[in-house]
Amino acid sequence: MADRGEQQCKSVDVGMTRVFELFGKRWTGLIVATLMPGEVHFAELRRAIPGISERMLSDRLTELAGAGLVLREVDAGPPLRVAYRLTPAGEALDTALKELGRWAEEHLADASGCPEGLRSR
């Protein structure tokens, strides 16, 4: 049986826990990726992410803003429009998201069920 000190060394990293508490929620990564090129209005975000409800999009954007990754800007109009953009902390995720995309292309099955390395060329 392992002693307590050994068990603590095998625990999950606190930073990784915080990352997956936020990015482990459905839609969060897609929202950040959609905002990566620049400012996007709420309606455009909703159209860009098929299947997400307005309520869920609003909730996720609020969480991302609370985490310091997204800024919300209101244009009083008329018409009233709300736009979102990444903060420098959010923009810093660009490299990590691109790397995850490359990993997915190589290791996750596409619609055919085959990882890239096994697909016929």
Could you write out the three-class secondary structure of 29-41? Answer: HHHHHHHCCCCEE
pLDDT of residue 121: 44
In a domain, 110, yes or no: yes
Averaged pLDDT of the chain: 86
Q: How far apart are CA 82 and CA 93, in angstroms?
A: 23
- Read off the pLDDT of each residue in 11-26 and give the average, rounded to a whole number: 87
pLDDT surpasses 80 at 2: no
- Note whether residue 64 is domain-resident: yes
Question: Residues in the chain, how many?
Answer: 121
Q: What is the pLDDT of residue 92?
A: 96
| CATH number of the domain residue 82 falls in | 1.10.10.10
Report pLDDT digits (tens) over 58-98: 999 999 999 999 999 998 878 889 999 999 999 999 999 99
Q: Is residue 3 part of a domain?
A: no
Provide the residue range defining the domain that includes 51: 12-118
In a domain, 83, yes or no: yes
Number of domains the chain is built from: 1
Asked if residue 2 is part of any domain, the answer here is no
Peptide bond just before 79 cis, omega within 30 deg: yes
* Residue 4 maps to a domain: no
For residue 43, being part of any structural domain is answered with yes
